[in-house]
């Protein structure tokens, strides 16, 4: 295993330019680039690592090998049907200690930062008003106010900027977001199908119902209501959660139904495990459910995406690409002198605005 993970490192002569995605500048995914292979043990992580064909082939063979033996179909349904129980046990055991706070959140996803909300939701703008010329003009009502026609009252109803995080776990993104939006006109919803995880959030000293509403919800159950109306969200954050869901049976329905809650122009922000990430190659035989989908010892599941699959998921939900990239990095264990390839997919997809004549 160690031999397999000890990879050749090619020097890169300059910082590679990432391709522009959707006409927008790429996200700042870090700029620590290894230009001299001798420096490899100087840092714990190197960015923008390119794989040789040989490395890709080695990884492909390794994944082929560890997925040869599939878990028998009759045993597989429990991983799907009882998924929330496995995650409940996970949070009972690890509490808040397993995942680290997502410190990269605002660097990679500056869209999460509430815009200057001044004037976005002023009740006086929701009625007819006079323009400077004295003519009566019909102002466009803001999202919050039209929403009351769908639902009488709901948490975050008066917010001018609404974020939802699905599969929020113990709050590693939730609390950084709460501390950032406090004092703004933004509101955060967060849900997880593990009631243990949601309790950890609600019991956290920084949890504040004035800014955040945490609730239990299985996002695969697309018919259950959410505590906000359709087309009411500016941002939906989907980090390391779609990988936990059956890729073929469920993921598309989940993304399509979530897209219905975005406002026009609202954005889905996605980050998750990429194909041939170290975590995939480390699986042993007998843990594979289907191609690139595995179950861990604790019964939780994980899928490894390509960016083309991610593109299909979001564009089939009617969203347009702003960014879709593979974030390939080299993780270094300086003590053991081992280097490992990490792969994540990071994407941003927007709900198009309807063009009216």
Q: Give me the residues that bind ligand SAM (CB under 6 A), please.
A: 83, 87, 99, 167-169, 172-173, 192-194, 197, 218-220, 239-241, 244-245
Rounded to whole angstroms, how far apart are CA atoms 152 and 227? 11
Task: Decide if 293 contacts 303 (C-beta within 8 A).
Answer: yes
- Closer to ligand SAM by Cβ: residue 241 or 281: 241
* Shortest CB 194 distance to ligand SAM, Å: 4
- Closer to ligand SAM by Cβ: residue 169 or 266: 169
- Closer to ligand SAM by Cβ: residue 51 or 294: 294
* Shortest CB 54 distance to ligand SAM, Å: 31
- Closer to ligand SAM by Cβ: residue 65 or 92: 92
Residue of 257, 235, 270 lying closest to 164 (CA atoms): 235
* Shortest CB 195 distance to ligand SAM, Å: 10
* Shortest CB 53 distance to ligand SAM, Å: 31
* DSSP secondary structure code for residue 1 in this structure: -
* Shortest CB 80 distance to ligand SAM, Å: 9
C-alpha torsion sign, points 268, 299, 191, 98: negative
Residue 189 three-state SS: strand
DSSP 275-335: TT-HHHHTPPTT-EEETTEEE-TTS-EEE-B-HHHHHHHHHTTT-EEEEEEEEEEEEEETT
* Shortest CB 51 distance to ligand SAM, Å: 25
- Closer to ligand SAM by Cβ: residue 83 or 177: 83
Rounded to whole angstroms, how far apart are CA atoms 157 and 21? 33
- Closer to ligand SAM by Cβ: residue 47 or 165: 165
- Closer to ligand SAM by Cβ: residue 7 or 191: 191
Beta strand pairing status for 161-166 and 186-192?
A: parallel
Rounded to whole angstroms, how far apart are CA atoms 94 and 327? 27
> To which residue do tokens 């006409």 refer?
23
- Closer to ligand SAM by Cβ: residue 188 or 244: 244
Beta strand pairing status for 262-273 and 338-350?
A: antiparallel
- Closer to ligand SAM by Cβ: residue 85 or 311: 85
* Shortest CB 88 distance to ligand SAM, Å: 8
Task: List, in sequence order, the alpha helices (H) in the chain.
Answer: 2-5, 53-66, 73-81, 83-94, 105-108, 143-147, 174-181, 195-202, 251-259, 278-281, 307-315
* Shortest CB 112 distance to ligand SAM, Å: 13
* CA separation, residue 118 to residues 126, 147, 161, 183, 243 (Å): 14, 19, 11, 12, 37
- Closer to ligand SAM by Cβ: residue 192 or 326: 192
Dihedral-angle region of residue 119 (phi above 0 means left; psi in -120 to 50 means alpha; beta otherwise)? left
* Shortest CB 163 distance to ligand SAM, Å: 13
* DSSP secondary structure code for residue 42 in this structure: G
* Shortest CB 133 distance to ligand SAM, Å: 51
């Amino acid at each position: 295993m160690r031999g397999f993970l000890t990879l050749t490192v090619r020097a890169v002569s300059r910082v590679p330019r990432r391709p522009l995605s959707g006409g927008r500048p790429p996200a700042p995914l870090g700029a620590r680039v290894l230009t001299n292979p001798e420096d490899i043990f100087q840092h714990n992580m190197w960015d923008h690592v390119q794989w040789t064909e040989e490395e890709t082939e080695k990884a492909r063979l390794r994944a082929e090998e560890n997925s040869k033996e599939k878990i028998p179909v009759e045993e597989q349904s429990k991983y799907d049907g009882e998924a929330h129980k496995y995650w409940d046990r996970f949070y009972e055991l690890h509490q808040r200690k397993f995942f680290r706070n997502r410190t990269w959140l605002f660097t990679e996803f500056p869209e999460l930062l509430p815009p200057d909300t001044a004037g976005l939701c002023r009740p006086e703008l929701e009625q007819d008003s006079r323009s400077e010329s004295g003519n009566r003009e019909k102002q466009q009502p803001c999202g919050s106010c039209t929403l009351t026609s769908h639902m009488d009252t709901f948490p975050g109803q008066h917010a001018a900027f609404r974020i939802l995080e699905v599969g929020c776990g113990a709050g590693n993104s939730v609390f950084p977001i709460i501390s950032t939006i406090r004092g703004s006109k933004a509101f955060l919803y967060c849900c997880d199908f593990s009631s243990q995880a949601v309790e950890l959030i609600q019991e956290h000293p920084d949890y504040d119902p004035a800014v955040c509403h945490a609730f239990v919800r299985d996002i695969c159950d697309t018919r259950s209501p959410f505590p906000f109306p359709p087309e009411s969200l500016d941002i939906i954050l989907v980090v390391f959660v779609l990988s936990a869901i059956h890729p073929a049976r469920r993921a598309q329905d989940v993304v399509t139904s979530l897209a219905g809650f975005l406002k026009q122009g609202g954005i889905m922000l996605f980050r998750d495990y990429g194909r041939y990430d170290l975590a995939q190659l480390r699986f042993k035989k007998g843990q594979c459910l289907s191609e690139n989908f595995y179950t861990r010892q604790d019964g939780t599941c994980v899928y490894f995406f390509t960016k083309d699959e991610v593109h299909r998921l979001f564009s089939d939900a009617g969203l347009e690409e702003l960014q879709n990239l593979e974030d390939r990095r080299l993780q270094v264990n300086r003590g053991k002198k081992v280097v490992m390839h990490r792969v994540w997919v990071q994407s941003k997809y927007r709900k198009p605005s309807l063009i009216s004549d």
